Amino acid sequence: MAANKSNHQHPISAAAAIKPLRTARAGFKKSSSKSALSRQRVTLEDLRNSRERMQLKTLQRKISLSPRSDRRPPEKLGDFLPQWFQTHVTKTGDVLATASETLQSTLPEKLWRSIAFGPLQRGLLTLYCSCSTAKIEVDMLLRPGTPGLRHLQIATKGLIFKVKTVVDRARTTG
């Protein structure tokens, strides 16, 4: 009989071991003196806190998606336009005027009359020629490494570093 008593486990001790696990998982405090009503209040407070945390997270997400406050506010067109005109139109016009003077002194008079200026984009100046022979002659005088192109690069302070020639009779008047 003594052997039976040592192997026999009391059923209350197993239930007592499971109860603290259930209360700990549910977020209840471990003290057993609180009633079931106070346990419900704790869970309602936890729900309120978790709802507030979720609202705070969504608010932070919305703030992070909004425009950053350290960026400049958008400018009015009247404030922006003169500065844009100065940097893009006036500067490009000055460069093309300098290039025109330089090419007029570099190219023979016959070739000068047969070309027209095209766009200046990213250091590439496009010249429109009236015929293919004029295109070949202008291309030979303004190829990379020739004195004509170096003279043009120095005069425009490096803003033009390459010249492209295109045959287009409609754009040339000569």
Q: What pLDDT score was predicted for residue 128?
A: 95
Q: Evaluate if residue 162 carries a pLDDT over 90.
A: yes
Q: What pLDDT score was predicted for residue 49?
A: 76
pLDDT bracket for residue 30 (50, 70, 90): low
pLDDT bracket for residue 174 (50, 70, 90): low
Go through 106-143 and write b for each residue having 16 or more CB atoms within 10 A of its CB, e for each that does not: bbeeebbebbbebebeeeebbbbbbeeebbebbeebbe
Lowest mean pLDDT among 33-42, 68-77, 78-87, 114-123: 33-42
- Give CA–CA dist 109/131, Å, rounded: 15
Helix, strand, or coil here: 126? strand
Q: Evaluate if residue 165 carries a pLDDT over 70.
A: yes
Q: Which fold has domain 91-167?
A: GMP Synthetase; Chain A, domain 3 (3.30.300)
Q: What pLDDT score was predicted for residue 56?
A: 74
Q: Evaluate if residue 164 carries a pLDDT over 60.
A: yes
Every domain of the chain and the residues it spans:
91-167
Give me the amino acid identity at 129: C
Q: Evaluate if residue 18 carries a pLDDT over 60.
A: no
Q: What pLDDT score was predicted for residue 52?
A: 78
Sign of the four-CA dihedral 136, 138, 141, 143: negative
Q: Evaluate if residue 5 carries a pLDDT over 60.
A: no
Question: Which helix (H) or strand (E) segment is 162 a member of?
Answer: strand 162-167
Interval 157-173 mean pLDDT: 88
pTM of the model: 0.53
Read off the tokens for 124: 């590439």
Higher-confidence residue of 66 and 15: namely 66
The helix-helix angle for 91-106 and 147-155 (nearest 10°) equals 150
The mean pLDDT of the chain is 76
Is 172:115 a contact under the CB 8 Å cutoff?
A: yes
Q: Evaluate if residue 172 carries a pLDDT over 70.
A: yes
